[in-house]
Structure 1
Amino acid sequence: MIVVCEFMTPSGLERLRLGGLEVLYDPNLWKDRARLKAQLAEATALIVRNQTQVDAELLEAAPKLRVVGRLGVGLDNIHQPELKARGVQLYFARGINANAVAEYVMAAMLHLARNLSGAARHVAEGGWNRSAFGGFELMGKTLGLIGLGEVGLRVARRARAFGIRVVASDPLRLEWESAVEDLEIGLISTEEVLRQARFLSLHAPLTPQTKHLIRAETLALMPKGAYLINTARGELVHGEDLAVALGSGRLAGAVLDVTDPEPLPEGHRLRGVEGLWITPHVAGLTAEAQEAVGLRVAEGVLQQLGRL
């Protein structure tokens, strides 16, 4: 049996069913940990998104489990050493939603530079103050990338098409050397990226080293009036310090597609902060990306189970 405990596209589910195994699909099952554990007693595969914590406790309830499929790329909700110790394979959709996230980053930069929503709201309310909504051009500005994987490189490629200068830090990505050269990306230290970036976009994984990477000390390195975009993990940013930086004018604006926690509770410090736009973790959720992710993970799981 294959248990799918978070949302999966119909095409992905149909592909799973063609493998000839029973598929239990309940997109809200992750919310009921006890019921999920009970369903896993006979499961050979589990498919999750980012809400389900796949840890020792959950795996203990799944003695027949052979593979975990992740509908996305972030793996911080999956305890990989525990999977390895139990001989459970992991399959995830590496790079499959990179285009969607890269386009979101470009949309965020354009939003911060031109404030179309503010201008449209101003007109809808009866205004016509043209001088208040001129904004500025992206051409010639510097974009700093922290993390230069599939998404970071695609952001860089699109930014270069806009005439934006790109600098980045990611010492682990030596395999991207030729692309870095072709795109004329300046590979420098994280500290120098912070010092130079008019726009800073985060694409690093969540690790003990990257948690709260963006905090008071690092925000102080950025040029006054810079902008932050985070589509990676909410825990990369210290929420209180971000609110202070926006309130003081250290940052001119920020767009967060991820927060810590998700969603933000009522009364959270980041709610209602001027110059901050928060979206509900949708950067990679285009129709095209979700179709591709569902099909890719379905086929990967079936392959691991010997059903392809």
Structure 2
Amino acid sequence: MARVVISEFMDEPAVDWLAARHEVTYDPSLVDDPARLRSACADAGALIVRNRTQVDAALMEAAPGLRAIGRLGVGLDNIDTETAKARGVAVFPATGGNVTSVAEYVITAVMVLRRGAWLGSADVLSGAWPRQRMMGLEVEGATLGLVGFGAIAQATAMRARALGMTIATYDPYLPADAPAWDGVARFDDLDALVAHADALSLHVPLTDATRGLFGADRLARMKPGAVLINTARGHIVDEAALAQALQSGHLAGAAVDVFAAEPLGAGSALATAPNLIATPHIAGVTVESNTRISWITARNVDGALTG
């Protein structure tokens, strides 16, 4: 019976299903104790993680019998995939499991940030009555720019169209004849898209090419009064530059679900930024998506261990 180590939270019925087939160590506190995690993986055949567990060469070296890594999500920047490939360790992202949850998060963020009314609750409860300041903008007729046009961005576009938004996208990797482009304004130049969009949502993985993609210069190219939503990865956006763009009023608001350091350390540049919605890497995590992702991952890992 193979041993499976789970280092972050997972839907418990899926954990129980795995435990009926394998020896399972389910301990979400392992993510914060690398030494204990390495010890737990010494005789593991599979490791299941979310985004915080760093599956590096040292961890894989400490787990010589490792055959599979299940990722409770889709981003793989916390997993050394080259080392995994060299060691013959299969890596399984939970592709498709969080599409709906992220798409709904983005649409909600666009509506909240453009309308603005919900950002003034504290003022109203304190006795103020700032009706003009909280008047805000509609989303109908506005342009939603999508940087990256994979499954999640396409699901976001579908929902935005239902609200009467115009969709503009940039994705140099999606073939020009892909059906997804139908009804979408396709931009070949990222800066042109950035200057055109009323709301901009990022849907790209963290790579050498996307690290720092939105620094001070590119944020300055955004349309004045636009809003930015980042559910991709924190290192894609320069947090100090974003804070400055919000403080200056160049951007009307931002929703940030991912950060360069998670959790945020003391003195984050974003701590005092106005009109900012900050969430703890939760855009892709709902009760429903957690169930989907957990079962996708459980079956992937079981298949790798028993196939």
TM-score with structure 2 length normalisation? Answer: 0.95
Cα RMSD after superposing both structures: 1.5
The 8 Å contact of residues 119 and 275 in structure 2, kept in 1 or not, is answered as no
Match of 1:238 in 2: 238
**Residues 129, 195 of structure 1: alpha-carbon distance in 2 compared, 3 angstrom cutoff:** closer
| SS at 2:141 equivalent | coil
Query: 1:188-203 alignment to 2 at 5 Å?
Result: 188-203=188-203
CA distance in 1, matches of 2:276, 2:134: 17
- Structure 2, gaps ≥5 residues long: none
| SS at 2:108 equivalent | helix
- 1:168-194 CA-to-partner distances (Å, cap 9, x unmatched) read 11111228821221x434343212111
1:153 is the counterpart of 2:158: no
Range with greater deviation from structure 2 (275-284 or 99-108): 275-284
CA distance in 2, matches of 1:130, 1:113: 15
Match of 1:218 in 2: 218
- Structure 1, gaps ≥5 residues long: none
The number of residue pairs the alignment matches comes to 305
**Residues 248, 37 of structure 1: alpha-carbon distance in 2 compared, 3 angstrom cutoff:** same
CA distance in 1, matches of 2:123, 2:268: 27
CA distance in 2, matches of 1:283, 1:120: 22
CA distance in 1, matches of 2:250, 2:153: 25
The 8 Å contact of residues 117 and 136 in structure 2, kept in 1 or not, is answered as no
| SS at 1:41 equivalent | coil
Match of 1:95 in 2: 96
| SS at 2:31 equivalent | helix
CA distance in 1, matches of 2:263, 2:277: 14
**Percent identical:** 44
| SS at 2:145 equivalent | strand
Query: 1:120-139 alignment to 2 at 5 Å?
Result: 120-139=121-140
Query: 1:266-281 alignment to 2 at 5 Å?
Result: 266-281=266-281
CA distance in 1, matches of 2:184, 2:169: 11
Range with greater deviation from structure 2 (167-176 or 71-80): 167-176
- 1:139-189 CA-to-partner distances (Å, cap 9, x unmatched) read 1111111111111111111111111111111111228821221x4343432
Match of 1:8 in 2: 10
CA distance in 2, matches of 1:34, 1:150: 37
The 8 Å contact of residues 15 and 299 in structure 1, kept in 2 or not, is answered as no
CA distance in 2, matches of 1:176, 1:88: 35
CA distance in 2, matches of 1:188, 1:142: 17
The 8 Å contact of residues 225 and 251 in structure 1, kept in 2 or not, is answered as yes
- 1:45-92 CA-to-partner distances (Å, cap 9, x unmatched) read 000111111111110011111100000011000011101111111111
Range with greater deviation from structure 2 (115-124 or 77-86): 115-124
The 8 Å contact of residues 213 and 237 in structure 2, kept in 1 or not, is answered as yes
